Amino acid sequence: MSMSRIKLTNNLEFSRIVHGIMRLISWNMSSQDVLRLTEQVIDLGVTTFDHADIYGNYSCEALFGDALKLKPGIRKEMEIVTKCGINLISDKFPDRKLKYYDYGSGYIVSSVNNALKNLGTDYIDVLLLHRPSPFFDPEEVAKAFSILKKDGKVLHFGVSNFNPMQFDMLNSYLEQKLVTNQVEISPYCLEHFENGNIDFFLKERIKPMAWSPMAGGRLMNPHEEKGQRIALALKEVAAELNVNQVDKVIYGWLLKHPASIMPVVGSGRIERIQFAVEAMNLDMSLEQWYKIYNASTGKELP
Catalogue the active-site residues: 55
What b/e readout covers 264-292, taking b as 16+ CB neighbours within 10 angstroms?
bbbbbeeeebbbbbbbbebebeeebbebb
CA distance 167 to 242: 40
Q: Is the dihedral of CA 67, 70, 73, 74 positive or negative?
A: negative
Strand partners, 158: 128
Strand partners, 182: 160, 209
Beta carbons of 23 and 59 less than 8 angstroms apart: no
DSSP class of residue 93 equals B
How far does the chain reach from its first CA to its final CA, in angstroms? 39
Beta carbons of 270 and 34 less than 8 angstroms apart: no
Type of residue at 272? R
Q: How many CB atoms lie within 10 A of CB 57?
A: 11
